[in-house]
Structure 1
Amino acid sequence: MMKYLVITGDIIESRKSGITNEILKKKLLEIEYPDNLLAPFRLSRGDEIQAVFRGYISFPAMLRQIRYLLRPLKLRFGIGFGEIEEQSTDRNSWNMNGTAFHYAREALDIITAEDFFQTIFLSNSDYDEAINTILLLIDNFQNSWTEAQWEAVYYYEKLGTYKKAAEKLNIAFQSIGKRCKAAKWREIRYAEDIIDRIIKNMFKGD
């Protein structure tokens, strides 16, 4: 049976940020999606965003993109992997249901209760603990990134080369390399590749 990935994000202290819902909605429109998107990120409940993907998605890269675009806001993410009831033509994730949504909600509840993780993946499989351990380490690395490092990583990942990223930011391409190195980008990408392999394996046969 087809599996789905649901990402639910909780914006921390959104009311104190001074950023209006209108601004948030405009920022969400800047998100770039893979082809297997089912429902794009939408704002609901005032401080939550949610999207649904059919099949595999490299979700660590997606989370990083969102965190960059929504700066200076801080977010917690619950990711659910499971089934959904895809019977309606409605592409608003808040009107959908299924185990993938339940897992994403449970993940956010755990984050709130334990105040330890920033990102949790749940699928009711033996892979969950390994994935969440890697996500914890990635989040700890990213928590120390400077604004310059966030920019360098974002545009290098988006544009594909140090040169193009440097041209976008109007700095020397060597600076992009130094910032990515300081951000431990190579190590983070390796960790994300491991998560990707695990998720791909979970989708085999769907």
Structure 2
Amino acid sequence: MFFSFKNDPYIAVIGDIKESKRIENRSEVQKKLKQVLEEINEKYINDISSKFMITLGDEFQGLLCNGSNIMDIISEIERKMYPVKIRFGIGVGTITTDVNKEMSVGADGPAYYKARNAIETLKDNENKKQTNAADIRIEVEGDNQAITIMINTILLLLTVIKESWSDRQREIIWDMLKHQDSQINVAKRFKIKQPAVQKSLSKGKYYAYKDALDTIVKALAEIRR
């Protein structure tokens, strides 16, 4: 057991586009984000208590009833929105208001407070010009400090690895994560030789990244209503 809860928790996710005011085609980015969130809502319908939706011009949020696919959801949003960069605050805790399946706006409680605090902490770290500040942070209600620190440390290390990727390494690693199959199949999709895939995976520290990601996924899968 990684976590301990007195009540059945929800998982609130708040996403925030980085440096959004510097984006020239903001309306197109927001249109694309809306489409991506609609795809997430359809694909992960069994995990979602309140659908993901844009709440402000540069922010969006959603509410999950279990953590099994949260990293897949975040990764899919990252992939589809790239090169736009997004920070994610994850809050685990109770919801004190009614939960509307169709609309996450209006819900309130510790889960959202934690997610908001996670986002603000990420922003503060970026403003302090910390080297390799994380782009995902989790905060958890209750007596779960040790596991929360561990997960946030791993999330920081994942960010460090991601920031080291070349464009080609990113394409190949994201393809590998998306399809979960062999290097040979990746090579076929990219129309390159298998050793080139192996080289990109090795230089991009794919297997260390995947092991660390799997650890987080295993821990978050415990969280469910």
Deviations 1:155-188 (A, max 9, x none): 2222222333333333334333322222211101
Query: Any runs of at least 4 consecutive aligned residues in structure 1 with deviations exceeding 4 A, and if so which?
Result: none
1:11-22 paired onto structure 2 within 5 Å: 11-17=17-23, 18-20=25-27, 21-22=30-31
Q: Percent identity among equivalent residues?
A: 25
Alignment partner of 1:105 out of 116, 139, 162: 116
Q: Residue 165 of structure 1 corresponds to which residue in structure 2?
A: 186
Indicate whether 1:123 and 2:135 are aligned: no
Indicate whether 1:137 and 2:154 are aligned: no
Deviations 1:90-140 (A, max 9, x none): 422223222111100011111122324322110032221111111111111
1:41-120 paired onto structure 2 within 5 Å: 41-85=52-96, 87-115=98-126, 116-120=133-137
Distance change >3 Å, CA 88–CA 76, structure 1 → 2:
closer
Alignment partner of 1:4 out of 5, 10, 19: 10
Runs of 5+ consecutive residues of structure 1 not aligned to the other structure: none
The more displaced of 192-201 and 133-142 is 192-201
What is the count of residue pairs matched by the alignment? 204
1:8·1:104 contact (CA, 8 Å) conserved in 2? yes
Distance change >3 Å, CA 84–CA 173, structure 1 → 2:
farther
1:16-31 paired onto structure 2 within 5 Å: 16-17=22-23, 18-20=25-27, 21-31=30-40
Q: TM-score, normalised by structure 1?
A: 0.86
The more displaced of 158-167 and 135-144 is 158-167
The structure with higher relative contact order (CA 8 Å, sep 6+) is: 2
